[in-house]
Structure 1
């Protein structure tokens, strides 16, 4: 009986840690090579049309990522078909070249603010598309893959 109660308590504790999390999903990047025409899509069904939310783009990278910043083109498609497109830049290293983000191994995770205090006022499916636009000086057209990005994620949290 004590084992059952311990397991139940631990499960409830783990579930309560992310009580503000509405959505959290990652897409792995095959062979850690993200081609510029490979758009990552997340479909989120919104049932809460009142609460304010923060939206984050989550990037996992390893030591093979060769740039100090990351450029992304993002698109949100609302249930009514309206679209919002943004071009974003995120710093991936500090001024000395040390990786930003969390993690004790060569894998770092960056939780990047995308939208703050947003209310998704329509019920239905919201489509989030993320595409990279990072290029080397010798690859203006984006023919070479971006190496070192292992996963791309999207998370949506209720504002406290």
Structure 2
């Protein structure tokens, strides 16, 4: 049996100035992997405030391996329910969202990895990404042991 802190192998947040996520700007996290056998759960952690104007979030992620390989994903997450209430945890205007990125991921190579994430939000009917996504205070990345 693990406590929550025993499961966490890596966690880091980056704060965004003015709670605004700039388009086409990667937020990067570097981490070391030595265990190439045990599966891990990977999470995108996001803190949004009441100024976040959407009920969902689209992101583009890139996981860079020590050997030069990379995995690129376009992902969509629900941020609010049908009534417009944010889904994250928290009693104030700031909500903490723990979003699954990869479940039971086994890292095939030991060494330094880099995880990049950028938002891919755009207004309906428009091609260009929203230049500044308001209401996002912090973006984080975490790795946990599976149970």
Question: What interval of TM-score do these two structures reach, taking the shorter chain for normalisation?
Answer: over 0.9
- 2:73 match: 86
Please list, as runs of the form range in 1=range in 2, the aligned pairs for 1:18-29 lying within 5 A after superposition.
Answer: 18-29=5-16
Q: Structure 1: 5+ residue runs without aligned partners?
A: 1-15
State the number of aligned residues: 145
In the alignment, structure 1 residue 114 sits paired with structure 2 residue 71: no
Given the alignment, which residue of 84, 95, 111 partners 1:124?
111
Question: Which has a greater percent of strand?
Answer: 2
* Aligned twin of 2:133: 146
Q: Which has the larger radius of gyration?
A: 1
Unpaired segments of 5 or more residues in structure 2? Answer: none
Q: Residue in 2 aligned with 1:13?
A: none
Q: CA deviation at 1:135?
A: 1.1
Instruction: Say what the alpha-carbon RMSD is for the aligned residues.
Output: 1.3
Q: Partners in 1 of 2:7 and 2:19 — Cα distance?
A: 30
Q: In the TM superposition, what whole-angstrom CA distance separates every residue of 1:79-121 from its partner, at most 9, and x where no partner exists?
A: 1000110000000000111110100000001000000011112
Preserved CA contact (<8 Å) 2:43 2:101: yes
Is 1:133 aligned to residue 133 of structure 2?
no
